[in-house]
A and B are shown apart, each in its own frame.
Chain A
């Protein structure tokens, strides 16, 4: 079975720009969650998507938005980038939305905002 793949692996953006990160979920997984991991921190929950709808959101401003497609892949969009948005962005897929499902994580996208 394929795992979770994220693209790109690294990118550098300028403050104020917009960025789109992509994620392909593990085969058979219908739920995708996005996390932001700042250097030296644990992952922080951004939001979760199930059946192309947002299904829970963490404490992130509206300039963080997402999409899920019929094949369960997902995008994370960040507008008006700020320096503090520099982090590792992790995508995780799961078999369902319940709190008991463990995640399968991708290797992440390292975003640097300058």
Chain B
């Protein structure tokens, strides 16, 4: 069955430090991959997406992600974290199996310390 795994429930980084959030997926074909961010009490905002081509994709707010087929991974990175980046981050896979749906991981909560 298709699935998305985010191994880290929460991560704490210092402001200005680099960030990497991990995501692994289970799917037979090359999936459509997304990262979303959710601030408390809010809906989700799309950060970036990967369909094909260059495996390093750039998104909004200075985020990027790298697709690694051999590792079934799509990790999110940011070189320097800002306090406003504190939020919940969701990795997602877009599938078309008898109808379209997007499967989300359980999320990683990012805490930023001064």
Interface residues of A (CB under 8 A from B): 4, 33, 35, 41-45, 48, 55-58, 90, 92, 97-108
Contacts and interface: CB of A to CB of B under 8 A. Distances in A.
Interface residues of B, number: 27
Interface in B1-49: 4, 31-32, 34, 36, 41-46, 49
Interface string B96-108: 1011111111110
B10 to A, nearest CB: 11
User: Dominant SS at the B interface?
Assistant: strand
Given A4-B43, A102-B34, A103-B46, A43 B100 contact: no
A94 to B, nearest CB: 9
A105 B102 contact: no
A72 to B, nearest CB: 16
Interface of B: 4, 31-32, 34, 36, 41-46, 49, 51, 90, 94-96, 98-107
Given A48-B99, A90-B43, A102 B106 contact: no
Nearest to A90: B43
Given A56-B101, A92-B44, 6 more contacts: A41-B107, A43-B104, A56-B100, A99-B96, A99-B102, A107-B43
Contacts of A92: 43-44
Given A102-B46, A105-B43, A97 B100 contact: yes
A56 B100 CA distance: 6
29 contacts: A33-B102, A41-B106, A42-B90, A43-B90, A44-B104, A45-B102, A48-B99, A48-B101, A56-B99, A56-B101, A58-B101, A90-B43, A90-B44, A98-B94, A98-B96, A99-B32, A99-B95, A99-B96, A99-B102, A100-B49, A101-B94, A103-B36, A103-B46, A103-B102, A104-B46, A105-B45, A107-B43, A108-B42, A108-B43
